[in-house]
Chains A and B, each alone.
Chain A
Amino acid sequence: MSEVPVIDTEHLQKVYSAGGTPLVALADVTLRVQKGEFVAVVGASGSGKSTFMNLIGLLDRPTSGVLRLDGVDVARLTPNQRAVVRNRKIGFVFQGFNLLRRTSALENVELPLLYAGVPARVRTDAAKQALTQVGLGERMGHMPNELSGGQQQRVAIARALVNQPALLLADEPTGNLDSTTTREILTLFVDLNVNHGITVVMVTHELDVAAVSRRVVQFKDGHLVMDGPPPPEWTPAVPAPWHVAKTSEVA
C-alpha cells in the first residue's frame, strides 16, 4: 500500500525497571495499522494491551523500537512535542469517559481546540458540529452528571473527533456501559469508520465487542499472538458492513 500507515511500530518494547527486577510489559511488537482500519486489541489483563495503547497514544515512551504515527517518528519527541501530537493526531476515548466535571458537554468537546489555540468562535462551531455528529446536538449545555453513561461516552467521542485526528484510540469504551448502550456506542464507531473513514483502534476484553471490528490483534505476556479477522465463532454485538460481506461470501 502506497499510503502512509497510521500506526507503524517496529520491535516496539517497553520494560519497567522499577523495584529491581525488570518487567517486560511489551516485547518486540511490530504492527501496522492503515488508514480507515477498525482494529480491536484483545488480551487478558497484564497481557500488554494497555501498555501498547499508552505507547501509541503517546502517554508513555517506549524503551526501544520504532514508533511512527501518521508517518512521524514519535518515539524520541520531547514532552511538549508529544503533547502537540496527542492534540493533533490522536483522539482518546476512555472506559471512565474522563470528562471534566461541572463543565458543559460543549466546553468538554472544545477542550482539545483550546490547547490547539483555535479562536473561540471556530472552537464553538467545531464542537457543536462534533456533538451533532454523535447525536447529542440537543444536549450541548448539559453537565456530565446530567447525562447518562452512553451520552457521556458520546461527549467523549465528540471530544476525540473534534480535532479531526488521524486515529481514534478507545480504551475499553463500553466497559462501563450496559448492553443496549454498548450497542449504540459500537454502532457509532462503525458509522464513524465506514462513513467518515476514521481509523479506530479499540481495546476490549469482551469478545462480542471485539467481533464488531474488521481486524483483531491479541496480546499475551507482552507478545503479539494473533493478528487477523475476528474468529467466526465470536458473535458481533452489532452488525457492520463487512459482516454482511462475509455472510454473503459464505452463502
Chain B
Amino acid sequence: MNAFTLLRLALRVISRNKARAMLTVLGIVIGVGAVIAMVALGAGAQQNIAKQIASLGSNLIILIPGTTNVAGVRGGGGSSTTVDVDDIDALRREVKSITHLAPANRQQVQIVAGDANWSTNLLGTTPAFYVVRDWRTDTGTEHSELDEASHNKVCVLGRTVATQLFGTDDPIDQWVRIKKVPFRVIGVLSSKGQSPMGTDQDDTVLIPFSVYRQRMAGTQRDQIQAAYAAAVDANSSQAALDEMTAVLRQRHHLRESADDDFSLRNLADIAAASREVADSMTLLLGSIAGVSLLVGGIGIMNTMLVSVTERTREIGIRLAVGAKSSDILVQFLVEAVVLSAIGGAIGVFFGWGAAQLLSDATGWVTIFDPAVAALAFAVSGAVGVFFGFWPARRAAQLDPIDALRYE
C-alpha cells in the first residue's frame, strides 16, 4: 500500500470515533501546547532581559570601590574609600578605550517643592552619565559641563519624582529644595521603567557632581561610590576593563599578589548571568511540559491497544485476503502517528493561543518561534511511532485463524 492510501485509511478510521480520538490526543495537545507556551514565555523573558540590560546603556562598564577591612571587620561592596575623584581624573586621562566616564554618588534625601515632598534617590553625576547610561530628558535639558564648572544649582527629575511633586503641572523652571538648598528644575527624564533588579529607575533626582561634592557629600567629598564608563564599542569593552584595572592598581600601589581593592564589571558579564537564569527557567518549564507529552504518548498506546483488540476480526480478514504482517504493522503504526500528529497540530495552535492569552493577561512578553513549533510537532510524531509500535506489533503478530474466529 502506498503512503497516500495508508494515510487515507488512517484518517478514515480515526474519524469514525472522533470523541475517542479527541480524548486520546488530549495529552499530546496539552504536552505540545505547554511546551510551546513555555518556550514562548522563556524567549519573551530572554528578550525582556536583553532589553533591560540595553537600557542600562551600551558598552557599559561599572566601577565600584572594594570592601573595607578594618581590624577584620569587612564592609560590603562600595563601603571603602579606595576610589576617589583623582582616580576618576586619572582614568579619564589615561584610558583610551573609554569614551565617557561618569562618577555617580547617591544618597536618600527628602525633596520639597512648595507643600509637596518626596523621599527619593539623589544622584550627583557629570553630564557624561546621560551618554553612558543612555538616559534622555523628555522635557527641558540635561545639565551641562557649564553647570558643572559654575556649580549651578540645577536638577533633572526622574518621571516618578516629577509626578509626585508637581502632578500634571510642568516642573520646568520650578524650584525644589534638597537639604535646604534650592535647585531649579531644568529637565525631566524620559521614563526608564524598572531596572533588571526591580527598582524604579524613575525615582531619582540628578544634580551636577560639583554641586553634590560641595553641598551634599559632607566630609566624604572626595570619595566615589560608583562610576560608569562607556567603552569605545562593544568589542573593546574587555580591553577597557583591563586598562582601567591596570591604572587603578598602579595608582593604589597594589603588589602583584594583592587582590583588586575595587571591582569592575562589564555589561556582557551581567547579561550572560541573567540569560543563564532565563535559560534554566525555560528548560525547567519546558521539561515539565515534556512530561505531559510522555503521558500523552501513553494515552495513545492505550487507545491503540484497545483498537487492535476491537479490530481483531478486521485484522483476520486482511490477513486472509493476503496482507503480510508487515502491512498490518505499518497500518496501525501510521494510525498512531497520524493520531499523535493531529494532537501535535492542535497543540501547536493551542500553545500559540495560550502564549497570546498569557501576554494579554499578564503583560509578559512571549515570542512564538515557528522552529520550536515545528520541533514540537515533529516530537509529537515521534511519540506516535514510539508508543504506537507495541500495539501495532501485537496486531501484526495475530494468528489469521484466531483473528478470524474472534467475536
The residues in B between 315 and 331 inclusive whose CB is less than 8 angstroms from any CB of A are: 316-327
Which residue of chain B has its CB nearest to the CB of A171?
B404
Q: Give the Cβ gap from A96 to chain B, nearest Cβ, in Å.
A: 9
List residues of B whose CB falls within 8 A of some A CB: 1, 5, 16, 313-314, 316-327, 400-401, 404
What are 15 A-B residue pairs whose CB atoms fall within 8 Å in the complex?
A54-B401, A59-B320, A59-B400, A84-B322, A87-B322, A92-B320, A92-B321, A94-B404, A101-B314, A111-B317, A111-B318, A112-B322, A114-B1, A116-B322, A159-B321
CB pair B320 A98 closer than 8 Å: yes
Q: Which of B16, B321, B401 contacts A111 (CB 8 A)?
A: B321
CB pair B1 A115 closer than 8 Å: yes
CB pair B401 A115 closer than 8 Å: no
CB pair A87 B321 closer than 8 Å: yes
Chain A residues bordering chain B, tally (CB within 8 A)? 27
List the B side residues contacting A87 at CB < 8 Å.
Answer: 321-322
List the A side residues contacting B316 at CB < 8 Å.
Answer: 98
CB pair A79 B325 closer than 8 Å: yes
Which residue of chain B has its CB nearest to the CB of A163?
B322
- The residue among B314, B320, B323 with the most chain A CB atoms within 10 A of its own CB is B320
Asked if A80 is an interface residue, CB under 8 A from chain B, the answer is: yes
CB pair A112 B404 closer than 8 Å: no
Which residue of chain A has its CB nearest to the CB of B314?
A100
CB pair B325 A86 closer than 8 Å: no
Q: Assuming A98-B313, A114-B1, what are 18 further A-B pairs, CB within 8 angstroms? A: A59-B400, A59-B404, A60-B401, A80-B324, A83-B323, A83-B324, A86-B319, A87-B321, A92-B321, A100-B317, A111-B317, A111-B318, A115-B1, A115-B321, A115-B324, A115-B327, A116-B322, A159-B321
Which residue of chain B has its CB nearest to the CB of A119?
B2
List the A side residues contacting B16 at CB < 8 Å.
Answer: 102
Asked if A88 is an interface residue, CB under 8 A from chain B, the answer is: yes
Q: Give the Cβ gap from B127 to chain A, nearest Cβ, in Å.
A: 80
Q: Give the Cβ gap from A72 to chain B, nearest Cβ, in Å.
A: 15
Q: Give the Cβ gap from B104 to chain A, nearest Cβ, in Å.
A: 78
Q: Give the Cβ gap from B10 to chain A, nearest Cβ, in Å.
A: 14
CB pair A115 B318 closer than 8 Å: yes
A111–B404 alpha-carbon span in the complex (Å): 16
List the A side residues contacting B314 at CB < 8 Å.
Answer: 100-101
A159–B318 alpha-carbon span in the complex (Å): 12
List the A side residues contacting B313 at CB < 8 Å.
Answer: 98
List the A side residues contacting B5 at CB < 8 Å.
Answer: 114, 120
A95–B45 alpha-carbon span in the complex (Å): 67
A112–B318 alpha-carbon span in the complex (Å): 8
List the A side residues contacting B324 at CB < 8 Å.
Answer: 79-80, 83-84, 115
Which residue of chain B has its CB nearest to the CB of A85?
B322
CB pair A98 B323 closer than 8 Å: no
Q: Give the Cβ gap from B407 to chain A, nearest Cβ, in Å.
A: 10
List the A side residues contacting B326 at CB < 8 Å.
Answer: 80
Which residue of chain B has its CB nearest to the CB of A103?
B12
A159–B320 alpha-carbon span in the complex (Å): 11
CB pair A80 B322 closer than 8 Å: no
Q: Give the Cβ gap from B319 to chain A, nearest Cβ, in Å.
A: 7
A101–B318 alpha-carbon span in the complex (Å): 12
List the B side residues contacting A100 at CB < 8 Å.
Answer: 314, 317
List the B side residues contacting A88 at CB < 8 Å.
Answer: 322
Query: CB-CB contacts of A32-65 with B at 8 A, as 1s and 0s?
Result: 0000000000000000000000100101100000
List the B side residues contacting A60 at CB < 8 Å.
Answer: 401
Q: Give the Cβ gap from A166 to chain B, nearest Cβ, in Å.
A: 14
Q: Give the Cβ gap from B399 to chain A, nearest Cβ, in Å.
A: 8
Q: Which of A54, A99, A101, A115 contacts B322 (CB 8 A)?
A: A115
Q: Give the Cβ gap from A203 to chain B, nearest Cβ, in Å.
A: 14
Q: Which of B1, B321, B325 contacts A80 (CB 8 A)?
A: B325
List the A side residues contacting B321 at CB < 8 Å.
Answer: 86-87, 92, 111-112, 115, 159
A116–B316 alpha-carbon span in the complex (Å): 17
A131–B5 alpha-carbon span in the complex (Å): 22
Which residue of chain A has its CB nearest to the CB of B4?
A120
List the A side residues contacting B1 at CB < 8 Å.
Answer: 114-115, 117
CB pair B401 A98 closer than 8 Å: no
CB-based closest 10 A-B pairs: A87-B322, A112-B321, A115-B322, A83-B324, A59-B400, A86-B322, A98-B317, A59-B401, A115-B323, A80-B324
List the A side residues contacting B322 at CB < 8 Å.
Answer: 83-84, 86-88, 112, 115-116, 163
List the A side residues contacting B317 at CB < 8 Å.
Answer: 98-100, 111
List the B side residues contacting A115 at CB < 8 Å.
Answer: 1, 318, 321-324, 327
List the A side residues contacting B325 at CB < 8 Å.
Answer: 79-80, 83
List the B side residues contacting A102 at CB < 8 Å.
Answer: 16
Contacts A79-B325, A100-B314, A102-B16 given; indicate if A86 touches B401 (C-beta within 8 A).
no
CB pair B404 A83 closer than 8 Å: no
A120–B319 alpha-carbon span in the complex (Å): 20
A163–B321 alpha-carbon span in the complex (Å): 10
A98–B311 alpha-carbon span in the complex (Å): 12
Query: CB-CB contacts of A114-134 with B at 8 A, as 1s and 0s?
Result: 111100100000000000000
List the A side residues contacting B327 at CB < 8 Å.
Answer: 115
A163–B322 alpha-carbon span in the complex (Å): 10
List the B side residues contacting A92 at CB < 8 Å.
Answer: 320-321
